[in-house]
Amino acid sequence: MTGSSALMAIGHILMCYTLFFSFHANKALGYGATMVESNKSHAPPSCSGTTTGLRVVHKYGPCSPSGLKKTSAVASQILAKDKLRVRAINSRLHNRRTIGLEGQGTTDTYLQNDLPGAGTFWVSVGFGTPLKDFNLVLDTGSYVTWVQCEPCTESPCPQQQNPSLYYPSFSSTSSNAPCSPLCNYTQAYFDKSTSGGVFVLDTVSIGQDYQIPEFIFLCADKKIGDFDGAHGILGLGPASSGDEFANYSLATQTANLFGRVFCHCLPSSGNSGYVYFGEKAREQCPFSGTYTRLLRNPVFGASYYFVNLIAITLGQKKVEVPSGIFSSSQGTIIDSGTVITHLPFSVYSELSQEFDRLMSEFPPANPSDDGVLKACYNLADQDNLAIPEMVLHFENLDVNLDQTAVTWKGNDNMSQVCFAFAAKEDEEDVTIIGNHQQQKLNMLFNIPDQRLEIGPERKDPFSLGPQTITLRWRNKPQVSLKPQTVRFRGHSGYSHITPAFYMGNPLTPYPAMIQHDRTRLDHDAKQVEMH
């Protein structure tokens, strides 16, 4: 058998394995529903990091440094804190709150930063020289980055350092930020916590490839309240040009380096995701070019990532979003800091009724403790569930949600599984697409071009294991091949997959790459015997 024939045979074998796996792992129950295993053991978590971006972890997942677990009590706390964040966002957008700025009296200028919330997704960012890593909440609803710190107020400065604090005096590259427009700040929150501090400049490291000198961030030396173990916030929000803090945003400060472009994939609790910036974002999160516009709200400007949500489909029922919602004081924002998606009451009502109809064979369960999630069911004894499929229809872009984004588990035994959407408290409030619905999606934010591209996460269509490919055939020496480049081209499903192999000398090691639906994963291949 020639080398090309062997490679063709490998292609056929991998093709059959891929189609077999995809058929059984994603067996459809009918139009608008997908079979998922609810009480089965799951694969080990994938917590590998990235050198060109930031690894994103779920605060309550096995990849998180927090050590926290999502119990039923924690699930209730998450929703309670999420309600506070939603109220804070709407309060700020509607200009119903002010903060005091030290040295300047009381003003109606607010600092859009560190909204109260559950802080679900964390990244590790390095500060100072020598480098010290801190766990920050990933937040597209804030645009100023801050880290908890301890400025030196004595001479000499104490040598003992708290590992969870940033010490400006111990960094050789730290300096005071110019006090224009602001130097000191203080802020209070709905959950009775407060924060305060000063702006400083220091070197910030994004992954292993990027060091940003003289980056301006908040050194929070006054913090009272529950921030859940995170050391601060990485603000990825789009600073509005009219905001006096706009020049302090990460997007603005790194515009020459990253071009105000980034991509993130928020993981499920069992795995890790990623954030990439600039050209790496374009390379790692490539799409077909279909996008929805990032909009400037007629009332609120570009203070958040506003989009035009047109409709939502649940199963076979499509519910239209009122067309005038964006031209008023409302609109729809994409926010990684909010957990649950909040919809106009009319939209939520129709969707929840349809969810109830589709889940009617299961016994009902109590609503969530805070009353946010109302359509809940007891699925404790169910091995396989028919979770309705869901699609968000944006202007020019349809987004298929992962099945885990449709429901919210109140506990591990599945005795309380709820429809993971809520109605807005006030019809004047904005519609918010929360992070629970963003999980397992590639989201590319292009601020200069005002584009948001959304596609499926980078998936491994099948597991090949950490081995090499071994070719054996009669009357020929055995040849062991190191991992090679394998490309799969096709749709987001597993139909119409055409494998193509690219190899040089078969005895030369090659980096492994699996490309599927414009996504890439590093893997090794396993033994294949040819006769």
CATH number at residue 400: 2.40.70.10
Q: Do 500 and 362 share a structural domain? A: no
Amino acid at 305: Y
Cβ-based neighbours of 156, under 8 Å, separated by 6 or more: none
Tens of pLDDT, residues 431-473: 999 999 999 999 999 999 999 999 887 653 323 333 333 433 3
**Is residue 47 one of the residues assigned to a domain?**
no
Q: Give the per-residue pLDDT at 485.
A: 33
Of 281-290, 337-346, 461-470, which gets the smallest average pLDDT?
461-470
Residues 484 and 381 in one domain: no
- H-type alpha helices, 29-172: 72-93
The answer to the question of residue 378 being in a domain is yes
The reply to whether 242 and 362 lie within a common domain is: no
> Does one domain contain both 68 and 171?
yes
Beta strands in 335-468 (DSSP E): 341-343, 376-377, 384-388, 390-394, 397-400, 407-409, 417-419, 421-423, 431-433, 441-446, 451-456
Residue 249: how many other CB atoms lie within 10 Å: 25
Q: How many residues does the chain have?
A: 531
HEC sequence for 259-283: CCEEEEEECCCCCEEEEEEHHHHHH
Does 157 lie in the same domain as 11?
no
**Parallel, antiparallel, or unpaired for β 54-58 and 272-277?**
antiparallel
Marked catalytic residue, from 114, 221, 243, 335: 335
Q: CA 375, 70, 341: angle at the middle one, nearest 5? A: 40
Active site residue 335: yes
Name the domain boundary from 244, 278, 312.
278
In a domain, 475, yes or no: yes
The per-residue pLDDT for range 247-262, each reduced to its tens digit, is 888 999 999 999 999 9
Same domain? 298 vs 271: no
Using DSSP's 3-state secondary structure scheme, residue 186 falls into strand
- Regarding whether 503 and 414 lie in a shared domain, the answer is no
Question: CA torsion, points 436, 442, 358, 38, in degrees to nearest 10?
Answer: -70
Residue 322 sits in which domain range? 288-456
Is residue 291 within 8 A of residue 447, CB to CB? The reply is: no
Rounded Cα–Cα distance for residues 335 and 58 (Å): 16
Mean pLDDT (the chain) is 73
141: amino acid identity, one letter: G
b/e sequence 35-67, b meaning 16+ C-beta within 10 Å? bbebeeeeeebeeeebebbbbbbbbbbbbbebe
pTM: 0.76
Q: In terms of pLDDT, which residue wins out, 408 or 240?
A: 408
- Specify whether 310 is located in the same domain as 410: yes
- Catalytic one of 139, 228, 402, 517: 139
Q: What's the CA gap between 35 and 503, in Å, rounded?
A: 38
Give the number of domains in the chain: 3
* Average pLDDT value for residue range 182-194: 61
Half-sphere exposure for 161 (CA within 13 Å, toward CB): 13
Q: Which three-class secondary structure state does DSSP give residue 323?
A: helix
Indicate whether 235 and 305 sit together in one domain.
Answer: no
Cα–Cα distance between 529 and 525 in angstroms, integer? 13
Q: Quick one: 131 and 273 in the same domain?
A: yes
Q: Is residue 88, in this structure, part of any structural domain at all?
A: no
Question: How deeply is 121 buried, as exposed, middle or buried, from its count of CB atoms within 10 A (0-12, 13-18, 19+)?
Answer: buried
For residue 455, what are the β-bridge partners? 442
State whether 425 and 482 are in the same domain: no
H helix and E strand count, the chain: 7, 38
* Residue 124, in any domain of the structure: yes
- Closest Cα partner for 300 from 15, 92, 142? 92
Given pLDDT bands bounded at 50, 70 and 90, which one contains residue 370? confident
C-beta of residue 450 within 8 angstroms of C-beta of residue 293 = yes
Q: Please tell me the distance from the alpha carbon of residue 199 to that of residue 146, in angstroms, as a whole number.
A: 9
Which of 456, 474, 502 terminates a domain? The answer is: 456
Distance between CA atoms of residues 456 and 26, nearest Å: 15
For residue 232, being part of any structural domain is answered with: yes
Give the pLDDT confidence score for residue 12 in this predicted structure: 46
Contacts of 212 (CB under 8 A, 6+ apart): 203, 204, 205, 206, 253, 254, 257
Report yes or no on 111 lying in a domain: yes
Summarize pLDDT for 322-334 with one digit per residue, the tens. Answer: 887 665 557 899 9
Q: Are residues 20 and 100 in the same domain?
A: no
Sheet holding 33-37, edge to edge: 28-30, 33-37, 384-388
**Neighbour-count burial of 163, counting CB atoms closer than 10 A to its CB (0-12 exposed, 13-18 middle, 19+ buried):** exposed
Identify the helix (H) or strand (E) that includes residue 19: helix 3-25
Average pLDDT value for residue range 97-126:
55
Rounded to the nearest 5°, which phi and psi values hold at 171? -105, 125
For the stretch 44-69, pLDDT in tens is: 555 655 557 899 998 887 787 766 66
Instruction: Look at residues 413, 435, 456 and tell me which one is the last residue of a structural domain.
Output: 456
Least confident of 39-48, 410-419, 442-451, 504-513: 504-513
In a domain, residue 496? The reply is yes
